[in-house]
Amino acid sequence: AKMAEYCRSIFGDALLTEPLEKYPLESGVPLPSPTDLMGKILVKNKKKHHKTEGSTKKKLSEQVSNTCSDSSSVCEPSSPSAGSTKEEAADSSQPSETTELTLRPHGRKSIGEVEAESEDEDDDEDDCKKGSMDEGTAGSEAFATEEMSNLVIYIQPVKFYSFETSKKITRSFQMSSFVETKALEQLTKSPVEFVEYNKLQLSRIYPKGTRVDSSNYNPQLFWNAGCQLVALNFQTIDLSMQLNLGMYEYNGKCGYRLKPEFMRRPDKHFDPFTESTVDGIVANTLSVKIISGQFLTDKKVGTYAEIDMFGLPVDTKRKAFKTKTSQGNAINPVWEEEAIVFKKVVLPTLASLRIAVFEEGGKFIGHRIIPVSAIRPGYHYIGLKNEKNQSLMLPAPFVYVEVKDYVP
């Protein structure tokens, strides 16, 4: 109650406390755009639902009882707790859906059951966490008081069951959180369905609990599927975090990055593991030649440069190229080597080029991450940045770049 009071008093009119008129909390209604919500603060917290008493509950109990008596093989409790029938009671705002609850054979839960169970996402997750440390605590939502629950509008967390279930329910104001291992499992099994899910709803990916060193997973995998909230351990400035910082550098380090059109259109279906060209998207051929470096370091050490490409799995090339080490010259080393050619970049809009410079012992000097779609052909001095994506001012490799449409 105190937290809700603080939110209301501090955020004032900026706090979104009611659905927008054009975007009611109904099935089939999309989420408001960032423009519609500009200047507004949204709360993500567990949503408290009220269970109905009386006739609806009675009808539900009678229906479950009758179904069980017809065939014991199809009656399977949704939760091992003694109060599972109560847990399946309907949301008071949706009595019509609950009264249509049916039990399906082979232990599969109906849409009505899934909707009712989704009200207690964290209770269900607790059972899973006992069997695996991967979940950690990052997927948990705090217990919702009445006052705090009322502030949760368009970001209502629910337990994820299946893409098929979410597609049938079509509630864009509900979202699910996936620990990285579960997200990768879903992405591997159903890549196209994951992309379709993210067209309608928000998804949040978070690091597994066993990352005790606060390391990070590669966020590119989930960007490729259109996941909107790819959470990382910000206290660790590793390559994954550097990719994240580079991703948002080209929109002023704030705001939103719009997904490519084919990942938003309902008539397009995209497989993030595709190796062929995407319909309507022209693949690129990219050539990068590192000629020399300028003011890399004031130490008398050898230096070298590396080039990486990140994007779709087919486009990703780790340490695709490495120059020879300059001999004791870090002020203006000259490499003048053959260009590295990325013959076919299937999806330039999701690809990033990384140029990094190191001392001969492997110590990091600086790097730059550039979206392939933003690269222009010609000669360029590319100003380097440190691990935190802060400009180093002087250090810059001198490169020549060619960008062409891919021709088979």
Specify the number of domains making up the chain.
2
Same structural domain, 174 and 29: yes
Q: From 228, 263, 298, give the residue that closes a domain.
A: 263
307 lies in a domain? yes
- Its domain, for residue 181, covers 1-47+142-263
320 lies in a domain? yes
292 lies in a domain? yes
352 lies in a domain? yes
Q: 283: which 2 tokens?
A: 């693949």
| Residue-level pLDDT, tens digit, the chain, 408 residues | 899 999 999 999 999 999 999 999 999 999 999 999 999 999 998 888 765 444 444 444 544 454 444 444 433 443 444 444 334 333 444 444 433 333 343 444 444 344 434 444 444 444 444 445 677 766 565 566 889 999 999 999 999 999 999 999 999 999 999 999 999 999 999 999 999 999 999 999 999 999 999 999 999 999 999 999 999 999 999 999 999 999 888 887 787 889 999 999 999 999 999 999 888 899 999 999 999 999 999 999 999 999 999 999 999 999 999 999 998 889 999 998 899 999 999 999 999 999 999 999 999 999 999 999 999 999 999 999 999 999 999 999 999 999 999 998
33 lies in a domain? yes
240 lies in a domain? yes
Strands of 378-381's sheet in order across: 340-345, 284-294, 396-405, 378-381
Residue 94 buriedness (CB in 10 A; 0-12 / 13-18 / 19+) = middle
pTM: 0.77
- Inter-residue contact 42 to 157 (CB < 8 Å): no
95 lies in a domain? no
Same structural domain, 252 and 289: no
Same structural domain, 148 and 251: yes
118 lies in a domain? no
- Inter-residue contact 3 to 148 (CB < 8 Å): yes
- Inter-residue contact 146 to 48 (CB < 8 Å): yes
The strand pairing partners of 379, in sequence order, are 400
Same structural domain, 257 and 290: no
Residue 341 buriedness (CB in 10 A; 0-12 / 13-18 / 19+) = middle
Alpha-carbon gap, residue 25 to 93, rounded angstroms: 11
Same structural domain, 257 and 288: no
| Residue 227, domain CATH | 3.20.20.190
Same structural domain, 257 and 299: no
Handedness of CA 210, 212, 213, 219 (dihedral sign): positive
Same structural domain, 25 and 168: yes
DSSP secondary structure of 215-269? ----THHHHTTT-SEE---TT--SHHHHHHHHHTGGGTTSS-PPPPGGGT-TT--
Helix (H, G, I), strand (E, B) or coil at 332: coil
Same structural domain, 342 and 230: no
Count of alpha carbons within 13 angstroms of residue 288, beta-carbon side: 26
Pairing relationship of beta strands 284-294 and 174-179 according to DSSP bridges: unpaired
